[in-house]
Amino acid sequence: MKQGLFILIIFFVFLFLVTTPQKEEKKEERNISVKEEERGIFISYIELQKYLKGKGKAEGKKIIDQMIQSVLDLNFNLIILQVRSFSDAIYPSTIYPWSATVSTEEGEDMEYDVLAYFLKKSHAEGIALYAWINPYRVRTTENISSISKKNPAFSYIGTDTLWVENGIYYNPSKQEVEDLIVNGVEEIVKKYNVDGILFDDYFYPNNEIDRKDYEEYLKNNPLISLEEYHLKIVNKMIKRVYATCHKYKKQFGISPDGNISNNYNSVFADVKTWVQNKGYVDFIMPQIYYGFYNETQAFKKVIDEWDNMITIKSIKLLIALAFYKVGQVDTYAKSGSLEWIENSDIIMREIILSRNLKHYDGFVLFRYDYLFNKELQTKTTMQELENMKKVLK
């Protein structure tokens, strides 16, 4: 009798163990393999100007080789290269002049195609390359005389197609501007085997740039606000760029402000529409340049907002991270302003946390110089790099 009871008890214990769901150990990161995760670095016009401007073909190519090797050594697989920053180009174009960021002056011919060489060397090393474009900016100053005759902006000087205030910008509401942007993108994706096109966070420079066009539009559309009009104008351009990229089977994405409200209140980037409707973007790369203790925009809160906002399953989320803040005071973080000085593992922890997001596909660091320029490196920078490497194996 006792033996039968003992066997019965053992049976029920076994049944409980095999049928009761076991509590899984909480994982810090999502199970994404090294091959799947995109790990990118922004190379901006600032780096191009610093390292390549005025350099000859042989020296320029040697510098590019070194830059790509640095990216490879860090176990990264994506370069975001700024190919057009001021209505110009770092490649021979029939639309835009040679950029003064790589040539001796705007419009002066180069000895070699900078974009083509970056692509050749990157792809040879298994590194993808997205061509990064600033669509509307012509200058960061009001110096009209710096615009060469080869620049398409030159023909619009003195007209309302070109806005001159705190910089020089194309008026987004003009059809000729939209055509210029779309044609410029098509020139790249048709001619070069880039892996994608990326627009950054600069859209409308202010609320007044197209006031006349808006007032004309109101005559037939009286119920639309100026802000809605701006969103409509940008969306129309974005849809055309997306269609153009897909015509040549290329990816298209945007890197907007990490603060969602800023996109609507400042530059009129309709990020919600882009990630909740097909036909706008393949990936979104919000610039979440915040620490964990940022008083108004804490990192965890912001990445969750972006992840939850995406409703189109195919849209990839890449998180842009602020390596440039390492070791610096973050003034706008208020009570969290010293976080980047007091810690040297923020980027590492942000990568780990981001890997848990539903739509996560990778991360990108802003920008190249802050990782590899010895003049900018500090003890905190080096510690941050070493900590980051721990999660890049």
Residue 190, judged by CB atoms within 10 A of its CB (0-12, 13-18, 19+), counts as exposed
Query: Which token pair is 269?
Result: 């980037």
Does the structural domain 34-135+175-389 have CATH classification 3.40.50.300?
no
pLDDT tens digits for the chain (393 residues)?
Answer: 444 444 444 444 344 443 343 333 333 334 555 458 999 999 999 999 999 999 999 999 999 999 999 999 999 999 999 999 999 999 999 999 999 999 999 999 999 999 999 999 999 999 999 999 999 999 999 999 999 999 999 999 999 999 999 999 999 999 999 999 999 999 999 999 999 999 999 999 999 999 999 999 999 999 999 999 999 999 999 999 999 999 999 999 999 999 999 999 999 999 999 999 999 999 999 999 999 999 999 999 999 999 999 999 999 999 999 999 999 999 999 999 999 999 999 999 999 999 999 999 999 999 999 999 999 999 999 999 999 999 998
Prediction pTM value: 0.91
DSSP 320-384: EE-GGGTTS--GGGGGGTTHHHH-S-HHHHHHHHHTTSTTEEEEEES-HHHHH-TTT--HHHHHH
Q: Radius of gyration over alpha carbons of the chain, in Å?
A: 24
